[in-house]
Copies of this chain bind each other. A is one copy, B any other.
């Protein structure tokens, strides 16, 4: 498979390269960077030494990149990705696009435009939301994938069974999520400065984080009704990992066993979802470096609430791993190809 990565110097780009380094079908054609064209990728990321000798190129030559590639991963800021997607598919209508940003995640462009404060410039794209476990059939046929956000992957996977089987009051959903710092990327800012993050716990973007409408859209579709939620992200001094703690009111008469069944029904055959069962406690550490999502749930009889907890590696299942999973599905390769390593523990 001939692969190019447009915008590869961020952490999701590096993570794609890490994963694809051992993917037996992957051949990396072009890796682009506007800031450091001409530089060898392993000068920027010395950990990739012995795996790549590619030099970064500018995406100015999208003509060539799009023409020669079978699949293009896009790791650009929102707003830029849809431009590349639009042009690349015009150049080569057969090329598959997997965008790791937000540009192709929303069916309803108005929601995108409202939360991202940008006009959408590629509305005619038949983009598919790439939460593989929920959308596999559509992903298989897709030519453009909006790869889900990290918080959204963790949160939606935790709640989907409950929403789908209508076990909860969807007006009662509260998601309290905790993320490692790699989710904030490699760009410099005081919020990611070591001494500021270390030995610290904080919430941010309460009631305003852009993953909120993404979660609402997908869960709303599953529920068959619009819904609004509370989503609160927190920054935790770890490099990788998201833990999403989700609260909802069970509908009257819903038993704990019905909850168990909902999880087993939806995920019982999924390789990358490991069900820890009722009473189970996912650890982000148990998913590090892998595409797994670990899930546990709890039913509190005193309050009538269900508490569902998910753990993922934000850079893998929450970004580049799921992107490769989607690629495998799109190209009819065994879904876990290149993704079947055991977690790095401890």
Complex contact A21–B342 (CB within 8 A): yes
Complex contact A201–B241 (CB within 8 A): yes
Complex contact B234–A341 (CB within 8 A): no
Cα of A47 to Cα of B303 in the assembled complex, Å: 32
Q: Is the CB of A192 closer than 8 A to any CB of chain B?
A: yes
Interface residues of A in 298-323 (CB under 8 A from B): 298-300, 302-303, 305, 307, 309, 311
Q: Is the CB of A228 closer than 8 A to any CB of chain B?
A: yes
Q: Which residue of B lies closest to A45 (CB)?
A: B345
Cα of A236 to Cα of B180 in the assembled complex, Å: 11
Q: Binary interface profile of A, 217-245, with partner B (CB < 8 Å = 1, else 0)?
A: 00000000000111010101111111101
A182 to chain B, nearest CB (A): 5
Complex contact B181–A178 (CB within 8 A): no
Complex contact A195–B239 (CB within 8 A): yes
Copy number in this complex? 4
A301 to chain B, nearest CB (A): 8
Q: Binary interface profile of A, 179-213, with partner B (CB < 8 Å = 1, else 0)?
A: 01110001011101111111111111011000000
Interface residues of A in 11-26 (CB under 8 A from B): 11, 14, 17-18, 21-22
Q: Is the CB of A115 closer than 8 A to any CB of chain B?
A: no
Cα of A321 to Cα of B343 in the assembled complex, Å: 15
Interface residues of A in 46-61 (CB under 8 A from B): 46-51
Interface with B: A89-97, A131-139, A279-287, which one?
A: A279-287
Residues from chain B with a CB closer than 8 A to the CB of A195 are 11, 180-182, 186, 192, 239, 346
A33 to chain B, nearest CB (A): 15
Complex contact A232–B245 (CB within 8 A): yes
Q: Is the CB of A106 closer than 8 A to any CB of chain B?
A: no
Q: Which residue of B lies closest to A50 (CB)?
A: B274
Q: List 24 A-B contacts (CB under 8 A).
A: A14-B345, A22-B341, A22-B342, A46-B276, A49-B274, A188-B189, A194-B194, A195-B239, A198-B238, A199-B284, A199-B288, A199-B346, A200-B283, A200-B285, A201-B242, A201-B243, A202-B285, A203-B243, A204-B281, A206-B298, A230-B305, A234-B245, A237-B237, A288-B344
In the A-B complex, the 4 residue pairs with the smallest Cβ-Cβ separation, listed nearest first, are: A207-B300, A195-B346, A200-B285, A176-B176
With A198-B346, A230-B307 given, can you name 19 additional A-B contacts, CB distance below 8 Å?
A: A17-B342, A22-B340, A46-B286, A47-B286, A47-B343, A50-B271, A176-B245, A194-B197, A195-B239, A196-B285, A200-B283, A202-B283, A202-B284, A207-B298, A207-B303, A228-B303, A230-B300, A230-B303, A237-B238
